[in-house]
Amino acid sequence: MIKVRSLKKTYGRVQALRGLDMEVPAGAVYGFIGQNGAGKTTTLRILAGLLVPDGGTAEVAGLEIGSHPRALREVVGYMPDFFGVYDDLRVGEYLLFYAAAYGIRGPRAFKLRDDLLELVELGEKREAFVDTLSRGMQQRLCLARALIHDPRVLLLDEPASGLDPLARVEMREILKELSKLGKTILISSHILSELADLCTHVGMITEGRLVRQGPLAELLNGTPVQTIILRCHGPAEAAEKLLAGWPGVEVLRSLPGQVEFRLAGGAAQAAELLKELVLRGVPVTHFAQEDQSLEDTFVQLAREGGLNG
């Protein structure tokens, strides 16, 4: 649904994008992860048609950016990271204003307004002035605004930033609903735990280049390092001694009867280590890989330099 090839963008002397390649399948919820200044917002603004790239190509739903600006606006719904509201408008009027700006008028606009307010759970606030809403409610209203023309692709830049935990959960639920409706969602966020629960695909960007991308499960399982928790019946000195001399092992934490360590390699390396432990008479009661979170993967890649180009 979104294809980006060698995208480049420079601001003065700063190279924000240095040949970004990215592919978002139709219907995917694509988490766009990266440090501050990595180029996430620039990428989203280019895809929304708000910035002109210096090089490379980008396509959304088969429409090349820049060649079909009007068609692109019909296909894309964009929610920026920071946005304002018109303080002299009521919530319902705010949505009708944007509906008119998308050429939607009359009974259809009123129906859309009511449906979208229900979707983002702001039906009761229809007559409230927009500036009286809380930050979370304004975020949800902005999401409703991005959906007013029923776009097939949603570009959401940090939609959960500045929200309290409850508002984040509400936002996540709404995004899950949208995903079920078949929307392709490209979402950038710093809150990786939120993305892990929501995304089907993930792309990691650093210094204007995409360093990892793919289905979430593949990305989590495909990391070259795994964290393993080993428990023994009794003291774990023998296990610690073996682990200290084992290639690719880094002990993270030692507790009485338990060792937590990182092991380079995949399942074969883990099986070999376990076999050796048992052969040496270590009374192993638990030997399991800790669930790899998106945050762990991201931090691991950052530590190993995978996110530094």
Partner 1 sequence: MAEEVREEQQGQEQEKEAAGQRKGGGAKQRPQEKRFFLRDCWEGLRCGLTPMLGKEMRGRTRGWRSPVLLTVYLGALSAFVLLFLWLNLERLSMIRPQVGLSLYSLFVFSLIMLISFIAPAVAAGAISGERERRTYDLLLVTKASIPGIVLGKWLASVVYLMFLAVAALPVFAVVFLYGGVPPAILGLAFVVCLAAGLGYGAMGLALSALTRRSQAAMIISLVLVFFFIFGIPVITGIIMASNPPGPSPQPLGQPGAAIAGPPWYIFLSPLTAFTSVLPGSGSYGQNWGIPLISELMNMLLNRMVQPEMVTTYRMGYASGYVSSGPGGVAVKPAGLTAWAPWARFTLYQGILIPVSLAAAVLAIAPRKPWPFRRAGKKNN
Residues that bind partner 1 (CB under 8 A): 1, 11-14, 16, 26-27, 36-42, 45, 48-52, 59, 61-64, 66, 68, 70, 73-74, 76, 78, 80-86, 88-89, 93, 97-98, 100-103, 105, 142, 145, 149, 152, 180-182
| Minimum distance, C-beta of residue 48 to partner 1, in the bound complex (Å) | 5
| Minimum distance, C-beta of residue 61 to partner 1, in the bound complex (Å) | 6
3-class secondary-structure state, position 105: coil
Cα-Cα-Cα-Cα torsion 134, 138, 144, 146, nearest 10 degrees, comes to -170
12: Cβ–Cβ under 8 A, 6 or more apart, which residues? none
For partner 1, which is the closer residue by CB, 182 or 247?
Answer: 182
For partner 1, which is the closer residue by CB, 15 or 223?
Answer: 15
| Minimum distance, C-beta of residue 203 to partner 1, in the bound complex (Å) | 15
For partner 1, which is the closer residue by CB, 94 or 261?
Answer: 94
For partner 1, which is the closer residue by CB, 44 or 301?
Answer: 44
51: Cβ–Cβ under 8 A, 6 or more apart, which residues? 9, 42, 45
| Minimum distance, C-beta of residue 10 to partner 1, in the bound complex (Å) | 8
For partner 1, which is the closer residue by CB, 25 or 222?
Answer: 25
Q: How far apart are CA 76 and CA 297, in angstroms?
A: 30
Q: How far apart are CA 85 and CA 79, in angstroms?
A: 13
- Helix H segments across the chain? 40-47, 69-75, 91-101, 107-119, 135-146, 165-180, 192-198, 216-221, 237-245, 267-279, 294-303
Q: Which residue, 226, 228, 289, 225, is CA-closest to 259? A: 228
For partner 1, which is the closer residue by CB, 150 or 260?
Answer: 150
| Minimum distance, C-beta of residue 282 to partner 1, in the bound complex (Å) | 50
Please give, one letter per residue, the 3-state secondary structure of 41-54: HHHHHHHCCCCCCC
| Minimum distance, C-beta of residue 144 to partner 1, in the bound complex (Å) | 12
Cα distances (Å, whole numbers) of residue 167 to 35, 65, 136? 23, 33, 6
| Minimum distance, C-beta of residue 101 to partner 1, in the bound complex (Å) | 4
For partner 1, which is the closer residue by CB, 111 or 241?
Answer: 111
